[in-house]
Structure 1
């Protein structure tokens, strides 16, 4: 059923009180719910052709100042989207929580050797630097990059699912026994941990220390795909153009742009502000603004995380590549 919405200028019907007026009582089954600010055309009963509504629409327009406001489709579409929007937010929270829990946290060299000796290493990885320059998905974490010898960075995962790392170039004391080939490691610190791994029978646990990385990346891709599908095939955005939301959502880090889109534009929901009067210049945020806001959000988020890392430390704001 086609439904049109009207917003009448208060000057059109001065002194009017909230009531219900029939536009054309004899020929039109549609009525107008009138308040001093808004008026909405609703169906009196079904089975009438669109021409009836057009007649009523024309009749309403002839009475003065009209604004057209997009209205949510009835019932099911709005209900389904409300559930989907909640599901998207919950998925975002899940991915963010997993990413925070499994983010690499720096530990001392002694703690690394203690966990190895106690068998609290479910997986480990060697590297010489963090891959800070590579592009990351919304919830991606820095990965270790290795070239040449093993070390000096050593990352390991404990049974609680958390990931830790240490720089084996910094240690208090280590004794090498020749149990491993020194030429394969970056220094005596790395050699000492390798000896402990062999002595504890954990050498075979070398591998990926982020087992949830694929799942978290999959959630990020699913969120991005849903957003892209809605922005391309869904109703036109109310408060910004499609290009505005595209650039903002895909440029802002950690999916923050998508949260902003869900809270501000809300596809298939009722409008938060009336559209412009016919003839007025359309005021919607443009693509260049979305790109600039996304870049600004990226810079601001990086600075904020760096500040939190300095104040709270790795426990609450882990940044292995800081």
Structure 2
């Protein structure tokens, strides 16, 4: 148990790294607002330019704390976005379609990754991020996957890949819904079910129309809600397989505490006990925590290591993106 007398010393060791990551996150948000670029991408690239701070000096401990602990806190607060009452308005068939799309994309990612020689862990990381909610899902999944010397590099590549592809989809997919002559609800289901990040889903949906934007946002929230069961299932599989974090031999909790927080907050919000303003504040806090954590993850990744990721990784994440889009087009045509 941490003694109270140790807290000031702990704060002194963590604060420099936390503050540096927070400043990078603020700069990323400013650039995103000024130039319309994804904030997560800006935080990642800016963080990578300060990678030397995570190698030696006073910022090392704080950067590591931000990249892991504050990241998990940000994921837990994502539960404030979930409301079962709002999600139920879509109806069981559409909800079933969304769940099927998420699970099928993850399975496809794992199988395709093995075929490309990258292993199931990388396929689960990329497939889960494409299937659920982009960068946020990538960070949540990475926090429970067994660690290795490639963990940081793989996470950075996945966040970079889904962010870039999500931005491209935000521009192209609204044009695609017009070409396919989809109605407002069908367009919303397609956009919300196939674009990776929440912000890009909102941007694409409301580009088409307000009803399409509303539906796309609800569909995306269902995908975000899938984060909890997927991470629980992954945790159980990892514990059953080896139970140890790679390179440490230590066992983690059966269900991560941040995931318990995510479910608890979502349940309180769905039951109507979470005030609307509190939900807004928690959602904003989640955005800033994840943005700051992303800056720290960038700081822990040397740019030269990204050159080793290989062309198979690029093929994989492109294939997963195409797969979920084709899957939704096919099922929507049947419906």
Measured against the shorter chain, the TM-score band is under 0.3
- Tell me the TM-score normalized by structure 1: 0.24
Structure with the bigger RCO (C-alpha within 8 Å, sep 6+) is 2
Q: Looking at CA atoms only, which structure, 1 or 2, has the larger radius of gyration?
A: 1
Q: Which has the higher helix share?
A: 2
Q: Which has the higher strand share?
A: 1
